Structures are given as structure tokens and as C-alpha cells.
Structure 1
Amino acid sequence: MSGPLFGTVVAVDGPAAAGKTTTCLALAKTFGLRYLESGRTYRIIAFEALQREIPVDNAPEITGLCDELIEESRSTSLLTSERYASAALRRTPVNVAVSAVARIADVRQRVTSLIRLWATTHDHCVIEGRDIGTTVFPRAAVKFYLTATPEVRAMRRLTQERAESYENVLRDVTRRDDADMSRKTSPLLPAADALTIDTSDLTVEQVLDRMSSTCRSRGLELNH
């Protein structure tokens, strides 16, 4: 990849509720890494589209909204904006709309540029998403792909978000998987050189141990 030089990037991809956020935050603390959740940006765009009643399948309008939000932030702060409460960004309407937003190629290109710019200002970071190791940072120092069965992930989401019925949550998880894995631009799939970890029957500590061991083997030092 030509362009700006990046420091150490740990890329963590995987479907919803596979355990990415929990383990990434723990990994960041263990190794002194800065943490970024790339998917939050797509949720912000989807949330704003719903608020402004912009059809999420209208690519030109959504791309224009993305440009407007980036201009308003005047920096990469859109990636880490605190203007939006996590609970609001994870409501069912946003969960449904974000898939349509994320499949728009021009939006993904803009978000990818923001993430890369953010990484140039942080020497060591862990970034979670759905195409970090395949598209955004194909040369990342370490790559992980976390997954779990749809049933396990639905139960986790039900517990974490105190959402509606299990059947509805499972349906939403499956729908999001299908949308992410079938989109033409940067589909969700493990990078060829990523360590895939099925977290279905593992504790957070067990997953973190595997990830930490891999990081150490690639030269990352513990945060003392």
C-alpha cells in the first residue's frame, strides 16, 4: 500500500456480537494500544440519515451526507465523536439501516480514508471492524477474525442490549451477516493471514490469551 506510513496496527474483524469490542478493549489495555471501532462511523451516518429522513438506499444522498458529516467534524473526530450515545446507535432501526449504508462503495472509501488518517497519528493501535485486515490495512502487523455461531451471538446481544425477543434478535443477526458477507465492496470475510478464533465456547480470558500470545509472537510488548 502506498501513501502514509502506519505504526503497529492490530486488525480485528468479524460479525456482530462475536466479542470484538470486549477483547479489543482488553487487548488495548494489555499492550498500551489506542482503540478504534470503525463500525461506529457507519452507524453515525445511518443514524443521521434516519433522523433526516434520507433513504438509506439512495447512494448519492447518503454519500453527500457522509461528506457533510466529515466536513462538520473538520478532522477525523467523526470516528470517535462523543455526540452520539451508543444506545441510540444500536437501536433496531439503525441496526437495519447500517447494512445499506455500509454497502455504498463511496461511503466505504471515505470511511477507509478517515481510518487510515487516524492511524497515522497513533503509532500503536487496535482497530475493529469488518474489513480492517482485508481492505483498510492489508499489511497490518497482526490480524484476527473473531466469530461465533449465530445462536450464541444472538444470545449475547439479547443479554447486552436487553433487546426484544430472541427470535427477532437472531433474525437480525442473520440478516446482518448475509448483508455484510454478500456486499460487492469489501465483504466480510477472514483475511488469508488472519488467525480465526471461534469464541462460541470460550471465555473472554481464553480469547484474550490467544490474541495476546499471537501479538507477543509478532513482537508486541506488554504495557508496563
Structure 2
Amino acid sequence: MIIAVDGPAASGKGTIARALGRQFGLPHLDSGKLYRAVALAMLRAGLDPGDAAAATTAAQALDIALLDAPELTLDTTAFAASIVSAHPGVRAALVARQRAFADQPDGAVIDGRDIGTVIAPHATAKLFVTASPQVRAARRHAELAGRGEAVALETVLADILARDARDSNRAVSPLVQAADAALLDTSEMSIDAAVERAVALVKAQLAAAA
């Protein structure tokens, strides 16, 4: 069983995907961490995330140990990852890693932006998790404040909108809801309510596929 969870930044898809993994006893992969790891490798090397050739090389030589680096949570890394992920060469280099994870014998839960459309279009269940840009910006702002990072809410919102534009308009694997994915708008939901609804949606898809 493969569960694909897609959606924009700060929509809650990561939290929901981890909860689904626990609910159904499946390993979970945050595919965004792969792109953030590539971005971090470039930042550490003093390279420009916009350099497609350098980014592709970094993705091909990615050290999995970077997935545990604390800098992955920094907003600067996330911003760079959004730029890096638009390069076709980077996406091609990381597709195989994601598909191998998805196709484990016992199944998996993967969250990202193109899981249900590109990585695992054959997924047993698919969710597209979203929320309004203003709500997502407020969530990210609170997260940054909790880590002691002083960033204006307006700046966070501008970043969210810029990332949405890049993710949705890139030529390769754009962020888009799969035709057979259930939509989950978490704008007005608590975490617990969103997870409960996600579990119900997945169970409904599993029952329909049985």
C-alpha cells in the first residue's frame, strides 16, 4: 500500500503524512528533505542554488547523512530547496530514490509536491493537502518564532507566495493536484481534526480500491 500526500509549503502535509504512517504502520519519507539536503550541500559549498548544473551534480552525489542535518529546518535552506527543486536534472536524480522508497514490499507513505502525479501515480491512496496562503504563512511564522527566528509575517507570506509560484509553474513535475487525489483543506482545522479527516479519506480510498 502506497499513500501519496502532496501539497504546498506549510499546508500540514508533513504532519499528516507522519500520522498516516503511524496509523497504517508504514515507513514515511518527507521527499522535501531530499531537496533541502541538496540545497544544504550547495549552501555549505558556497554554490548558487540557481546554478542548474551544480545543483544536478550535488543531487547525484547526495550524502544521505545530510537528511539528519539540523540546518535542514532553517528557512534559508527551505527557500534554497524551492529553487533547487525547479531544476530538471535535480528532480531526475532524486526520482529513483523516491520511487525505490515508495515501492518497498510493505508499502510506504511519502509526502511532497509531485508524489501522486510523478513519483507514485499508482499509489493506493492520494491526498492533496492545502490551506490558504495567509494561514500557511501564519503557521510558518509561528514555527520560526518558536525557534527564535525573528522574521516579519509579511516576509514569510511573500516567501510562501514566491515558493507557490515556483512550484506550480516549473516545467518539470509542477505542484498540481492529481485527478484522483482527495482534497483536504486544513485552513480552519486543528492538527488533530486534519489528521482525523486524512485518515478517514485514506480509509475511504482503500475501501473503494478493495
| TM-score, L = length of structure 1 | 0.85
Shift in Å, 1:109: 1.2
Separation (CA, whole Å) in 1 of partners of 2:47 and 2:11: 30
Q: Do 1:41 and 1:79's aligned partners in 2 also have CA atoms closer than 8 Å? A: no
The aligned residue for residue 82 of structure 2 is 99
Q: Is contact 1:146–1:199 with CA below 8 Å preserved after alignment? A: yes
Task: Point out 4+ residue stretches in structure 1 off by more than 3 angstroms.
Answer: none
Q: Secondary structure at the match of 1:123?
A: coil
Distance 1:80-1:190 versus aligned 2 partners, 3 A rule: farther
Range with greater deviation from structure 2 (152-161 or 206-215): 206-215
- CA distance in 1 between counterparts of 2:66 and 2:39 reads 16
CA contact (8 A) 1:43 1:89 kept: yes
Q: State which of 47, 56, 63 in structure 2 corresponds to 1:54.
A: 47
Q: What's the CA shift for 1:99? A: 1.8
Report if the CA contact (8 A) 2:102-2:110 is conserved: no
Instruction: State yes or no: 1:194 paired with 2:181.
Output: yes
Structure 1 unaligned residues grouped into runs of 5+: 1-7
Distance in structure 1 (CA, Å) of the matches to 2:205 and 2:138: 34
**Aligned counterpart, 2:113:** 130
SS of equivalent to 1:56: coil
What fraction of aligned residue pairs are identical, expressed as a percent? 35
1 CA distance for matches of 2:99 and 2:65?
A: 11
Matches within 5 A, 1:109-148: 109-148=92-131
1:212 aligns with 2:199: yes
Structure 2 residue ranges without an equivalent (≥5) = none
Q: What is the CA deviation profile of residues 199-223 of structure 1, one whole-angstrom value per residue up to 9, with x for unaligned ones?
A: 0001222222222122223337xxx
Q: Displacement, 1:121? A: 3.1
**CA distance in structure 2 between the partners assigned to 1:36 and 1:80 by the alignment:** 14
Count of aligned pairs: 203
- Given residue 91 of structure 1, which amino acid in structure 2 is its aligned partner? L
For residues 159-198 of structure 1, what are the alpha-carbon distances to aligned partners after superposition, in whole Å with 9 as ceiling and x for unaligned?
A: 1221411111111111111110110000001001100111
The CA deviation string for residues 42-76 of structure 1, in whole angstroms up to 9 with x for no partner, is 0011111111111222211211122222xxx4xxx
Contact 1:12–1:20 (CA under 8 A) maintained in structure 2:
yes
What is the TM-score of this pair, normalised by structure 2? Answer: 0.90
Instruction: Note the C-alpha offset of 1:79.
Output: 8.5
Q: Report the equivalent of 2:8.
A: 15
Q: Is 1:179 the equivalent of 2:172?
A: no
Tell me if the contact between 2:114 and 2:175 (Cα under 8 Å) persists in the aligned partners.
yes
Work out the CA distance in 1 between the residues paired with 2:54 and 2:82: 16
Pairwise CA distance, 1:102: 0.3
- Alignment equivalent of 1:81, drawn from 67, 71, 91: 67
Q: Quote the Cα distance in structure 2 between the aligned partners of 1:212 and 1:140.
A: 15
